[in-house]
A and B are shown apart, each in its own frame.
Chain A
Amino acid sequence: MIVVEGLWKSYGDRSVLERLNLTIREGEFVTLVGASGCGKTTFLRILLGDERPTKGRLTLDGRPLRPEPGPDRGVVFQRYSVFPHLTVLQNAMLGLEFQSGGPLGRLRGRAWQEARARASALLAEVGLAHVADAWPSALSGGMQQRLALAQALVLEPRLLLLDEPFGALDPGIRIDMHQLISKLWHATGMTVVMVTHDLGEAFKLGTRVLTFDKVRHDRQAPERYGATITYDLRGRARPLLPA
């Protein structure tokens, strides 16, 4: 369970987020929507640990969230989510190699073979088994995002953060990706927080849709007040656990 209490974020005089309170239960699929620059991505990056809140408390299962990214939180960005110098399979294995490969981050022998088997299974699940030895740059945008998902899921994070992961994809590919992410969410039972521009996508995939907007305005200084959560709506996706 993630609890956010009285969170503020500002850069100098510019407020981005203010008075943000939120509780996300285990296994929810939360989508964040709002106009460009409304702070939804900033909020996601705070959850990720890549940004720190100016004020407020953030706890994961009662403990303060570590202020840097870690293996408890997986992430998929819109771009640059996979490593160009590693093949598809190596990308999918990387998490396991970091986790148990010692200071150099390399596995050998049996451990390497086991890691490869796990990564291969995951690649098969996201439909990339046939391109395991290709470089990511040879893949289409949709396939790269599939790889990014597989890579993030190999460590089985309890929280998966998605920053407009399908924003750059063609509409047809997007629908395939929706099916994939729903399937993976059901299979793992992880909590998902996704930022998107696409309202249809937000309601289709999410059990819960949060809209970000400013409630206070200062005409002389439009950047004085930040955004907060204005609506907390039910999405069309069926929750994994009964409420």
Chain B
Amino acid sequence: MRLLNRRPGQQFSLILAVLPFLLVGLVYLQASNARLEVNPNDKLLPSPSQMAEAMHRMAFEEDRRTGQYLLWADTAASLQRLAMGVGVAALIGLGVGITIGLVPIASATLGPFVAVVSMVPPLAVLPILFIAFGLGELAKVVLIALGITPFLIRDIAFRVGELPRELLVKAQTLGASTLQIALRVVLPQMLPRLLSGLRLALGPAWLFLIAAEAIASTEGLGYRIFLVRRFLAMDVILPYVAWITLLAFLMDTALAALSRRLYPWAYVR
């Protein structure tokens, strides 16, 4: 049988899926062991027990200077920034995207502008944001929003343009105004698209969050990683990276599940 026709069964799929993780883990353990054998004080590739110890300290022991449980404080701060940035971007993306997609005059006015703005590298304007909004929360939230809004606008506008013209004509023959069509025909059909757009935008959103935290912050997951880097504290950095990855993965899964739950009509085939 040709390779492209061979499909793994359910169990075999699971084994195949676990395999790469296992492999990377094994390679790491091997390398870590080898280094620690030569020098027990090596900090570059800490052993799992060292990492567990460090994480226990971060998660369950009060920080002596601030009196906080650092992992949770960092997580709360980062997630709050992320939620605000992504939330603002989603609202603007939906509103402007539908307007551009539905109204030719709006698309003629804003289309080229958005296309150009979306080419501005957000990290290049980060200094401007810090100067304009100070080093507080606002600049970080704005960076995230600025970073993913153009993508969301263009995604939604494009999807609106993909709606069958028949649907828009039909709505007009039912007496709908432009606003009614936007609210009752286009908006509901764009919500599942927005959620899938958000799933794609989460990666960049995390990138901008960590970049902003690395440069100017006093707490946050990105801030912590860049802070302990000075002490070469890989036993904190590695688990933090894994934790961030887990959070991002859970958000992605949650968005997918939410979309299926809220918009079952978009998944009936």
Point out residues on A near B: beta carbons under 8 Å. Answer: 48, 50, 68-71, 73-75, 77, 79-81, 83-86, 94-95, 97-99, 101, 103-106, 135-138, 148, 151-152, 154-155, 157
A-B contacts besides A71-B174, A85-B266, 16 pairs, CB < 8 Å: A48-B173, A68-B172, A70-B172, A77-B169, A81-B170, A83-B171, A83-B189, A84-B189, A84-B266, A97-B184, A101-B180, A103-B177, A104-B184, A137-B269, A148-B170, A151-B174
What separation, in Å, do the CA atoms of A83 and B171 have in the docked complex? Answer: 9
Chain A residues with CB under 8 Å of B172's CB are 68-70
Known pairs A75-B173, A155-B175; A103 contacts B180 (CB<8 A) = yes
Chain B residues with CB under 8 Å of A137's CB are 265, 268-269
Known pairs A70-B175, A135-B264, A155-B174; A83 contacts B167 (CB<8 A) = yes
| A-B interface contact total, Cβ < 8 Å | 93
Q: Are B269 and A80 in touch, CB under 8 angstroms?
A: no
7 A/B residue pairs, CB under 8 Å, sorted by A: A80-B164, A80-B167, A83-B185, A98-B177, A135-B264, A152-B170, A152-B174
Nearest residue (CB) in B for A87 is B265
How many B residues have CB within 8 A of the partner chain?
26
Q: Are A98 and B166 in touch, CB under 8 angstroms?
A: no
Known pairs A103-B179, A137-B265; A152 contacts B173 (CB<8 A) = yes
B263 within 8 A of A: yes
B183 within 8 A of A: yes
Q: Are A98 and B176 in touch, CB under 8 angstroms?
A: yes
Which of B177, B179, B265, B269 is the most central at the interface, judged by chain A CB atoms within 10 Å of its CB?
B265
Nearest residue (CB) in B for A94 is B174
Chain B residues with CB under 8 Å of A84's CB are 189, 265-266
B180 interface neighbour in A77, A83, A104, Cβ under 8 Å: A104
Nearest residue (CB) in B for A148 is B170
B136 within 8 A of A: no
B25 within 8 A of A: no
Point out residues on B near A: beta carbons under 8 Å. Answer: 164-167, 169-177, 179-180, 183-185, 188-189, 263-266, 268-269
Chain A nearest Cβ from B79, distance in angstroms: 31
Chain B residues with CB under 8 Å of A99's CB are 174-175
Is chain A's binding surface mostly helix, strand, loop or mixed?
loop
What separation, in Å, do the CA atoms of A84 and B264 have in the docked complex? Answer: 10
Q: Are A71 and B173 in touch, CB under 8 angstroms?
A: yes
Chain B residues with CB under 8 Å of A103's CB are 177, 179-180
What separation, in Å, do the CA atoms of A95 and B184 have in the docked complex? Answer: 11
Chain B residues with CB under 8 Å of A48's CB are 169, 173
Chain A residues with CB under 8 Å of B166's CB are 77, 79-81
Chain B residues with CB under 8 Å of A69's CB are 169, 172-173
What separation, in Å, do the CA atoms of A101 and B179 have in the docked complex? Answer: 12
Q: Are B169 and A135 in touch, CB under 8 angstroms?
A: no
Chain A nearest Cβ from B162, distance in angstroms: 12
B265 interface neighbour in A74, A98, A135, A154, Cβ under 8 Å: A135
What separation, in Å, do the CA atoms of A50 and B168 have in the docked complex? Answer: 10
Chain A nearest Cβ from B269, distance in angstroms: 7
A74 interface neighbour in B165, B173, B176, B266, Cβ under 8 Å: B173
Q: Are B173 and A157 in touch, CB under 8 angstroms?
A: yes
Chain B residues with CB under 8 Å of A155's CB are 174-175
Chain A nearest Cβ from B150, distance in angstroms: 26
Known pairs A73-B173, A77-B170, A85-B188; A138 contacts B164 (CB<8 A) = no
Q: Are B176 and A105 in touch, CB under 8 angstroms?
A: yes
Nearest residue (CB) in A for B180 is A105
Nearest residue (CB) in A for B192 is A85
